[in-house]
Structure 1
Amino acid sequence: MNKHEINTNETKQRYIYTYACHETERELCLLELKCLFGQPPEHDSILLSERRLEPGTSPFIHLRLDIAVDAGTLEELCEAASTLQLEDGKTFKVLCFKEGDNDADYDERRGIERRIGARIQGQAQMKEPDITLGVIRAGERWLLGQCMHSDRSWLERRQKPQNYSTGLPVLVARALVNLAVCHAVVHEAHADGLKLLDPCCGMGNVMIEALSMGKQIHGYDINPLAVRGARVNLRHFGYEEDLVKLGDMNMVKGTYDAAILDMPYNLCSVLPADEQKQMLRSLRRLAARAVIVSTEPLEALLSESGWTLKEQCRIRKTGLSREIWVCE
């Protein structure tokens, strides 16, 4: 067997994803990656998978490396790099990443880039190359492939015309949508065709992220001010404001594939247990799967409302801790 392998049509394509998160969102990050890829990451900064996702799917993923060369040593990687065929006229550059198991310092990584770049047949271009090739060490293997960087345009949506100080951050909202639909992604279903519901939508943070990801979603809120604010935000980002309606979720009709429920009432006052249970029962009637967010423990009420807990994690934000439950 050769000591290095170059991907061909006969070999299974593999991918490396680099990811990062703040410690307050680490549980959510790991849970989202587990749901999206069907496996938890085995490393603090990279995830190896045969599943191909756009790197912008998760707000925690920074890039995807489409592995072309898998070698046992750096010398073998350099040798294999000389056999890579770039498209005619395409310029390139090589980046050696500190993520993974590469303990090289900055100067050593630049040296690795020069060594590999010198072996590749093509024109190097450091400022604006047509192709960026990445080098990562994973365990005892050296991996080389084309880099596909994440679309980070969601960062622009952190600023909205209307917002709550306790509203879900954009990053969290985006991850919650993935938790709601990732079962369809993992099982090769058409996740974009799912009908989603945000029954307590507030200012529409979750809705806007779902819409930006190409998902179908409808929102309701019992508070007229929230509905008005959500419509302003939707219109600001180019979405139909009629997707949000004034209404009590206990009175909403219809069926949805999944729902994201951020129980907002208990942020300002204590919501009685019987009212919480009614909301959860209504949600059970409306959706087959739910991602539920609360500042209070809900395990007992979830069970009493007919939900089966699948996953759970916690996020923290400046003295405010939220529990997240994924239920079916």
Structure 2
Amino acid sequence: MSPQKLIYLYARHWDDEDLCRLEMRSFFGYDSSTNVLFSSIQVEPSRSPFMKERLDVLFEAQSWEALIQRAASLEMGSETFKVINLNTRTLNSSSKIEIADRRKLEREIGLQMNGEPDLDHPDVVFGFVVIDGYWYFGKYVEGDSVWRRHQNKPHSYSTALSTRVARTVANIAAPNPEGVKVIDPCCGIGNVLVEALSMGFDIVGSDINPLVTSHTRDNIAYFGYTCEVKPRPIANITETYDVAIIDMPYNIFTKASPEDQLDILVQARRIAKKVVVVTIDTIDEMIENANFNIVDRCEAKKSSFVRQVLVCE
């Protein structure tokens, strides 16, 4: 039996292109230069700030008429349904279908299906889409921009990772978080912790500044999450983890010197098998001196401000 085909539809700003594609590679093992990605690997769209929708393909056809015929063979039983067209924007070589035409197609295919339609509260939502001349039909899964709800919290620092970037970095660090122990040893106010906890990660945090960790705990509690957050330097961590996420301190109050940065990386090598480093400095040589190899990387941009995201093993 061949693996199920899943279609992921993306939307991202050009500033996020590189970051989004690193997240794609972390989830799926390859990336896409377009807003469409095909895979047999199942990921909840709500995990990614860039992944908007997923279509779990039930069948495909080379023509609209053939797709309708296949849809007519579905047996819905007592379940109500709704059908939506996903061509709301250009997808690869397929142009956007205007809303009036999308509604016409939805009605046409819905009338051929065996079951009771319910446009307001359906038991099942189906989707269909044309991409590069092929029509696909399947179960529709819509993403939820969870990270947006984490933007307003009791404590915020201008130099902290945005919730969007923090969520993406967490995904890059642990694309399959089940059974993975994660630590953020320079956690700041906890944006990475909040995003990771919202996705069910087994994660703990620490920071050298006790005032900061107090604010971190406030932020985590504000969203109803719990995790261990300790005021301690990374050198005092004795436990070991599968992966560490390190956003190198860089503002005028906490900027790490090159010696401090190297020590953080050396300590990270001691406590974690894999490390995802976020840095505004080019530290490739320092990574190598800490006995890490950079296995993947990207730039996370915000206008002229650029961070590097390094995946190290």
1:180-228 superposed Cα distances (whole Å, 9 cap, x missing partner): 112xx3xxxxx32211111110001111111111111111111122111
* RMSD of equivalent CA atoms: 1.9
Quote how far apart the aligned CAs of 1:11 are. Answer: 4.7
Aligned length: 310
Quote how far apart the aligned CAs of 1:267 are. Answer: 5.7
2:272 corresponds to 1:282: no
Name the structure 2 match of 1:141.
134
Q: TM-score, with normalisation over the residues of structure 1?
A: 0.88
Q: In 2, are the aligned partners of 1:290 and 1:327 still within 8 Å (CA)?
A: yes
Q: What does 1:29-108 align with in structure 2 at a 5 Å threshold?
A: 29-41=20-32, 44-99=34-89, 100=91, 101-103=93-95, 104-108=97-101
Partners of 2:94 and 2:29 lie apart in 1 by: 26
2:297 corresponds to 1:312: yes
| Identical-pair percentage | 34
Name the structure 1 match of 2:208.
222
Q: In 1, are the aligned partners of 2:79 and 2:124 still within 8 Å (CA)?
A: no
2:198 corresponds to 1:212: yes
Q: What does 1:169-184 align with in structure 2 at a 5 Å threshold?
A: 169-182=162-175
2:17 corresponds to 1:26: yes
Q: In 2, are the aligned partners of 1:98 and 1:136 still within 8 Å (CA)?
A: no
Partners of 1:305 and 1:278 lie apart in 2 by: 8
SS at match of 1:291: strand
* Residues 269/319 of structure 1: CA separation in 2 closer, same or farther (3 Å cut): farther
2:244 corresponds to 1:259: yes
Q: In 2, are the aligned partners of 1:94 and 1:117 still within 8 Å (CA)?
A: no
Which amino acid in structure 2 is aligned with residue 202 of structure 1? Answer: G
Q: Which runs of 5+ in 2 are unaligned?
A: none
User: Which stretch of structure 1 is more off in the superposition, 207-216 or 266-275?
Assistant: 266-275
Q: In 2, are the aligned partners of 1:92 and 1:125 still within 8 Å (CA)?
A: yes
SS at match of 1:193: coil
Partners of 2:242 and 2:295 lie apart in 1 by: 16
Partners of 1:45 and 1:151 lie apart in 2 by: 17
Partners of 2:252 and 2:87 lie apart in 1 by: 42
SS at match of 1:39: coil
2:154 corresponds to 1:164: no
Which amino acid in structure 2 is aligned with residue 60 of structure 1? Answer: F
Name the structure 2 match of 1:188.
none
Q: In 1, are the aligned partners of 2:79 and 2:123 still within 8 Å (CA)?
A: no
* Residues 269/251 of structure 1: CA separation in 2 closer, same or farther (3 Å cut): closer
Aligned counterpart in structure 2 of residue 203 of structure 1, from 185, 189, 197: 189
Name the structure 2 match of 1:249.
234
SS at match of 1:107: helix
Q: In 1, are the aligned partners of 2:163 and 2:191 still within 8 Å (CA)?
A: yes
* Residues 87/15 of structure 1: CA separation in 2 closer, same or farther (3 Å cut): farther
Q: Which runs of 5+ in 1 are unaligned?
A: 1-9, 186-190
Q: TM-score, with normalisation over the residues of structure 2?
A: 0.92
Quote how far apart the aligned CAs of 1:58 are. Answer: 1.9
Partners of 1:122 and 1:102 lie apart in 2 by: 30
1:247-296 superposed Cα distances (whole Å, 9 cap, x missing partner): 11123222110010001235657533222111111111111101100111
User: Which stretch of structure 1 is more off in the superposition, 224-233 or 288-297?
Assistant: 224-233
Structure 1 residue runs of 4+, over 6 Å off? none
Q: In 1, are the aligned partners of 2:153 and 2:219 still within 8 Å (CA)?
A: yes
Which amino acid in structure 2 is aligned with residue 114 of structure 1? Answer: R
